[in-house]
Amino acid sequence: MERPAPLILRAATGLRRAVGVLGHAMGLVAGWGFVLCAFFITFDVLARSILRVSTQSTTEITGYMLAFGLSWGLAHTLTQRSHVRIDMLVNRLPQRIRIWLHLLSLLALGVFMAFIANGAWDLVDESLLFNATDISLLRTPLAIPQGLWAAGMVVFLVLIACMLVENLLLAILGDARQVERNLSSRGYDEEAQEALEALGVTETKP
Amino acid sequence: MLVVFLGLSLTGTGGGVDVPISAVLLLLGVFGGFFAAGIYVGAALGVLGLLAGFAFSDRPFWTFLGQTAWSPSSSFVLVAVPLFLLMGEILLRAGLSERLYRALNLWLNRMPGGLLHTNIVASGVFSAISGSSVATAATMGSVAMPFFQGRGYDPKMVMGSLAAGGALGNLIPPGITFIIYALITETSVGALYLAAVGPSILVMGLFIAVILLKKNAAPPPGPVIPLGEKIRGLVGLIPTILLILIVLGTIYAGLATPTESAALGVVAAIGIAVVERRFSFRMLHASAEATARNTAMIGLILLGAYVLNYVITMLGVPQMMAGLVSGLPLPPWAIMALIIGFYLALGTFMEGFSMIITTIPVIFPVVTALGYDPIWFGVVVTMLVEIALISPPDGTVLYVLQGLRKDGGAIGDVFAGVLPFVAVYILAIVLMMIMPDIALWLPRAAGP
Amino acid sequence: QPQITIQAVTQPTPAIPQYTRVDIPLLRDGLPAASNGRIRVNLAAWPERNLNGPEIIRLVRSGQVEIGAVPLNTVAGDVPLLDMVDLAGLNPTIGQARQVAEALMPEVNRGLERFGVRVIAMAPYPAQVLFCRERANSLADLRGRRIRTGGGSINDFVAAVGGQAVGIGFPEVYAALERGVADCAITGTGSGNGARWYEVTTHMYALPVAWSTYGYFINLAWWNRLDAPARDLITGTFARIQDEQWKLGDAASEDGIACNIGDRANCSIGRLVENRPMTVSRPTPEDLQTLRGILSNNVLPAFVRRCGAACGETYNRIVAPISGTRYEAR
Ligand code: NA
Ligand code: NA
């Protein structure tokens, strides 16, 4: 029988979940963005060769799509524990050391993303100051794609901060197993489950 | 390799340089520490860049990180990556990759190494359309990996052969590296493409030899399959061949650029799934989600790599090291061997593209002064970039493959698996040094 | 006197003559020599610093480098006024391109002041002409063709002649021309030679659409901190660089044509094309007349729409007396 978690921990977990849900939704939007991007380019290629008309902006638009998809998927990927770490050595250490290395890893990610997210907002700010556009036919104001891109970075940073607080509390309270569950890389069973689902094995083999 | 640079640092030939070579070594040490501690790879690269910047730069470099991160995020060169990833996810869920491999297996199951060969051959075919190694590895990885699940193949060799196959992406024409090399050095893209044919065949042959030698990596040969069944099995290849024709054909017919053809591939894959009655909204949704996840996974590493790149190029580290190597009083072949060693060392912690972009302007005049053929060197450099992409610990292709992996194994498998292939790739370069005609006979025979 | 170290990033590739024949001898080597070693210059081409071009004003602004050069069209997304110097069809001769550039310099610097940068010199690339896979003898031949541009007002020009502007990243252009994804591409006569486009195109239509005029941008805060002797030295150096670059631009324009058509006697800067040289067509007076019409009817109005009405007035006040074509609001 576990004792109820302290209020502060429950608050941290709740906050982390809320940001995680937001990140998940953003990840799905990012994925569908790529699908739309594929159809958009295909449309442009066909229109160009059959109708001889073109939006003439596929290079720019798809570039923005990549930036958007990349950054909006970051938080979701962290929740799915799919960002790459080299944990060969870490996994051989005892759990009580391991969880601190998990936290250190998350902290390093937080520091790095703090610089990037800050730089991203400065970039948007600068683009607003310049009233900058690209030089394609569309003259897209750069602050729009850059702003969306920066937003993804910020949500990612906030999620990292929430996870850091939550798991630091867990570590201090001595719940190492939960930290391990939250922060270690994806395990065999999860990956295998996904692969089987993707292959549709469960459907085709009675 | 470190020994060489330690030796160089003692000779003290680097005049007018702000970063001491010992500092470069220290950074390499910190880098190793980060990896050992299991820091996220993207964060390890990025934080290393920040540390180097704060230690050595007299510029407010952090005020430029937004732009530094924006460039690769919106780069047209990388747009093809998520599109090919998406295509791979759809093919996987539509059961097409399964059918492709089943058909190939009918023909290859008696060969030692079995389906591992298809990783190389299929990557080679894909490389002939794609100009990007990361895209090649991403596509072939997502198509091939599920098939090896639970079939008795050694995961090390599966991952190693896929990485090796990915490292053909730029070498087999077309390739982005050749185009950039040609731009910087004013050599002919066409001649470079021709010169790459011989080495491509050589490298693929060596890869196949590696697999043949490691015959324990594949399950024992299956029963003899009657020819009729083999031929019937070819039907399974039709959708994939159709898809290749669409992607390849539109490029060759001048209807689309390689980047655009990736998008056509996605739409065609959806079309094939619809025709095969394997399409569903849920399946597309799952493909989209997986694409977003894998793109972000690769993206975080790229962000870190670009920050590190920005800082070390701003500090002039690659140029300094290149100048050091090329200024030594040694015979031409020894300088060339050092240059190759220098790229191999640099490739362990630098991204391939920026590696050539920043160093070729320094190295190239030395190479031509030594009497080496610029076309030959372009091929060698491309091979070195490819090696950088698959050499641990910082090889983009390796992380892409690890990210696509479904069996939950450690990245150590990937590292260990790719090493024999890296070794024969280096062997290929040595052979080219001994026999430059491996590259040069074709442009001479077919040249204008 | 304190030592001064200058970081400078100037050309899109390190192999072009603008870099090897002017920037290296005058800026990288000349300035330290003239200052008796007091000023040190770390010069690099864009790729050596991993740069693409559009970010260069911001690079200078943030103090990463003191001096950065970039074509004005490339950064016109940040500062639309910069486009005015080198609008498509504005300058039929390189002499006029220089006159316009010098006349606009004070105005450009007033506009740039609030961003913390200024232009210290402007210079051209060789004439921007059309490299085509098929016969192209006149503007009329461009109708319906897919033409790769670097963006900016050249897109308006292409649209006006009935062509279709396609945006393809520079590294993909060679392959795009080879496969016919683009029918033509616009770049400098010498630049196309350097990028070996003659391997994948057959006809050069030598209408000088523009000059890809670029500016050497400097960080204003740094400039204001410099002492007077250093500033004088640098100003003098850039005056010489500017002179040399305009001379080179002029020479390289004709040289590029000569090299691409295999005219050995007149090809000394670029690479002589011996196998399958290109065919060149010169613009007729009618074509130049049409180009002028396109400037006033298409290019100028589109430019003012992007840049604002004030830019139209500036144009009429400073540039129209030189070009002889006024901007009419409609
Ligand atoms: Na290729
Ligand atoms: Na590497």
Q: Which of A1-5, B95-99, B224-228, B295-299 has the lowest mean pLDDT?
A: A1-5
Q: What is the pLDDT of residue B258?
A: 67
Residue A133: partners with Cβ closer than 8 Å, 6 or more residues away = A139, A140, A141, A142, C77, C80, C306
DSSP H or E run through B253: none
Tell me the chain B residues in contact with residue C196 when contact means C-beta distances shorter than 8 Å.
Answer: 182, 186-190
- B166 alpha carbon – ligand 1 mean position (Å): 10
Distances (CA, A) of B44 to A85, A107, B208: 9, 11, 34
- B189: nearest CB among C14, C169, C196: C196
**In this structure, what token pair is assigned to residue A159?**
């999620």
Cβ contact, residue pair B314, C64, below 8 Å: yes
The ligand with the least distance to the CA atom of B169 is 1
Q: Do the beta carbons of residue A110 and residue A192 sit within 8 Å? A: no
Sheet holding C4-9, edge to edge: C39-44, C4-9, C67-71, C214-219, C117-123
| Within a domain: B2 | no
- CA-closest candidate to residue C318, choices C121, C81, C112: C81
| Angstrom distance (rounded) from CA B178 to CA B189 | 6
**What pLDDT sits at residue A206?**
28
User: A-C interface: how many C-beta pairs under 8 angstroms?
Assistant: 49
CA-to-CA distance for C134 and C138, rounded, in angstroms?
A: 12
CB-based contact B166:B397 (threshold 8 Å): yes
DSSP assignment, residue B226?
P
Q: What is the average per-residue pLDDT within B254-267?
A: 81
Higher pLDDT: B21 or A45? It is A45
Q: What whole-number distance in Å separates Cα of residue C208 and Cα of residue A130?
A: 30
* Ion ligand 2 neighbours, Cβ < 5 Å: B 347-348, 388, 391, 394-395
* pLDDT over 60 at B78, yes or no: yes
Query: How far does chain B reach from its first CA to its final CA, in angstroms?
Result: 41
Bridge partners (DSSP) of residue C219 are C117
Which ligand number lies closest to the CA of residue B393? 2
Binding-face residues of A in 10-69 toward B, CB within 8 A: 27-28, 30-35, 37-42, 44-45, 49, 58-59, 62-67, 69
pLDDT above 60 for B31: yes
- Residue A100 is assigned to a structural domain of this protein: yes
The per-residue pLDDT for C248 is 95
Please compute the mean of the pLDDT values over residues B7-33 and round it to a whole number. 59
Name the stretches of chain A with pLDDT < 70: 1-4, 52-56, 88, 186-206
Nearest to A135 among C61, C73, C166 (CB): C73
Share of chain B above pLDDT 90, in %: 18
Task: Order across the sheet with C164-166: list the strands.
Answer: C164-166, C146-148, C184-188, C128-132, C203-210, C279-281
pLDDT band, residue B151 (cuts 50/70/90): confident
Residue B164 sits at the chain C interface (C-beta within 8 Å)? no
Q: pLDDT value at position B10?
A: 37
B186 vs C64, C179, C271: nearest CB: C271
Q: Which domain holds residue B187?
A: 40-45+59-446
Query: Is residue B114 in a domain?
Result: yes
Q: Is residue A116 part of a domain?
A: yes
Q: pTM for the complete prediction?
A: 0.83
Q: Which ligand is nearest to the CA of B347?
A: 2
pLDDT at B7 over 90: no
Cα separations in angstroms, C101 against B446, C238, C267: 47, 15, 28
In chain A, residues 68-127 whose CB comes closer than 8 Å to chain B: 69-74, 76-77, 80, 82-91, 101-102, 104-105, 108-109, 111-113, 115-116, 118-124, 126
What single DSSP character describes residue B61?
Answer: G
Flag whether residue B174 sits within 8 Å of chain C, measured between CB atoms: yes
The secondary structure of chain B in percent helix, strand, coil, rounded to multiples of 5, reads 75, 0, 25
Residue numbers in C near A137 (CB within 8 A): 155, 165
**Strand, coil or helix: A85:** strand
- Whether residue A194 lies inside any domain: the answer is no
| A95 close to C (CB below 8 A) | no
Whether A197 is covered by a domain: the verdict is no
Q: Quick one: pLDDT band at residue B125, thresholds 50, 70, 90?
A: confident
Instruction: Evaluate whether residue A204 is within a structural domain.
Output: no
Which has the higher per-residue pLDDT, B146 or B167? B167
Nearest Cα to Cα of residue A169 among A182, A177, A179: A179
Q: How many helices (H) and strands (E) does chain A have?
A: 8, 0
Does A160 map to a domain? yes
On average, the pLDDT of chain C sits at 91
Contact list in B for residue C195 (CB cut-off 8 A) is 182-183
pLDDT at C102: 95
Q: How far is A14 from chain B (nearest CA, A)?
A: 23
Look at B18-22, B386-390, C287-291 and tell me which has the smallest mean pLDDT.
Answer: B18-22
Residue B311: pLDDT above 70?
yes
**Residue C180 φ/ψ region, left for φ over 0, alpha for ψ in the -120 to 50 degree band, beta for the rest:** left
Please report whether residue A21 resides in a domain: yes
Give the residue-averaged pLDDT of B314-329. Answer: 76
pLDDT of residue C294: 94
Predicted local confidence at residue B6, as pLDDT: 39
Q: Among candidates B390, B393, B387, B416, which has minimal Cα distance to B401?
A: B390
What confidence score (pLDDT) does residue B15 get?
32
CB C241 within 8 A of CB C23: yes
Q: Which of B319, B299, B318 is nearest to B396 (CA)?
A: B299
pLDDT score, position C229: 93
Query: Would you give per-residue pLDDT tens digits along chain C (330 residues)?
Result: 789 999 999 998 887 899 999 999 999 999 999 999 999 999 998 878 878 888 899 999 999 999 999 999 888 888 889 999 999 999 999 999 999 999 999 999 999 998 999 999 999 999 999 999 999 888 999 998 989 987 789 989 999 999 888 877 666 788 788 878 889 999 999 888 887 889 899 999 999 999 999 999 999 999 999 999 999 999 999 999 999 999 999 999 999 999 999 999 999 988 899 888 999 999 999 999 999 999 999 999 999 998 889 999 999 999 999 999 999 876
Q: How confident is the model at residue B19 (pLDDT cuts 50, 70, 90)?
A: low
**Could you report the per-residue pLDDT of C2-38, keeping only the tens digit for each?**
899 999 999 988 878 999 999 999 999 999 999 999 9
Helix (H, G, I), strand (E, B) or coil at B251: helix
Task: For residue B179, give the nearest of C14, C171, C275 by CB distance.
Answer: C171
Q: How many angstroms separate the CA of residue C78 from the nearest CA in chain A?
A: 4
CB A149 within 8 A of CB A51: no
Our count of domains for chain A comes to 1
Q: Report the separation in Å between the CA atom of B343 and the middle of ligand 2, taken as the mean of its atom positions.
A: 10
pLDDT value at B351 more than 70: no
pLDDT of B224 higher than 90: no
Domain that holds residue A16: 8-81+90-187
Q: How close, in Å, is residue A82 to chain C by CA atoms?
A: 29
How far does CA C35 lie from the centroid of its chain? 30
Q: Which residue of B has its CA nearest to C60?
A: B64
| Overall average pLDDT of the B204-216 stretch | 89
The neighbours of chain C, by the rule of 3 or more Cβ pairs under 8 Å, are: A, B
Beta-carbon separation of B267 and A32 below 8 A: no
- The reply to whether A199 falls in a domain is no
Give SS3 for B153: coil
Task: Map tokens 């730069």 to a residue.
Answer: B57
C-alpha of residue B136 to centroid of ligand 1, in Å: 8
What angle (nearest 5°) sits at the alpha carbon of residue B323, between those of residues C65 and B310? Answer: 35
pLDDT at B11: 37
Using H for helix, E for strand and C for coil, what is the string for chain C?
CCCEEEEEECCCCCCCHHHHHHHHHHHHHHHHHHCCCCEEEEEECHHHHCCCCCCHHHHHHCCCCCEEEEECCCCCCCCHHHHHHHCCCCCCCHHHHHHHHHHHHHHHHHHHHHHCEEEEEEECCCCEEEEECCCCCCHHHHCCCEEECCCCHHHHHHHHCCCEEECCCHHHHHHHHHHCCCCEEEEEHHHHHHCCHHHCCCEEEEEEEECCCEEEEEEHHHHHHCCHHHHHHHHHHHHHHHHHHHHHHHHHHHHHHHHHCCCHHHCCCCCCCCCCCCEEECCCHHHHHHHHHHHHHHHHHHHHHHHCHHHHHHHHHHHHHHHCCCCCCC
Measure the CA dihedral C99/C103/C108/C113, to 10°: 130
User: Is there a contact between C62 and B63 if contact means CB atoms under 8 Å apart?
Assistant: yes
Q: How many domains, in total, are found in chain B?
A: 1
A139 touches C at CB < 8 Å: yes
Residue A177 contacts B where some CB pair is shorter than 8 Å: no
What pLDDT, on the 0 to 100 scale, is given for residue A198?
58
Count CA atoms closer than 13 A to C50's CA, side-chain side: 33
Average per-residue pLDDT for chain B: 81
Q: Are A185 and A81 in contact (CB under 8 A)?
A: yes
Backbone angles phi and psi of C227, in degrees to 5:
-80, 165
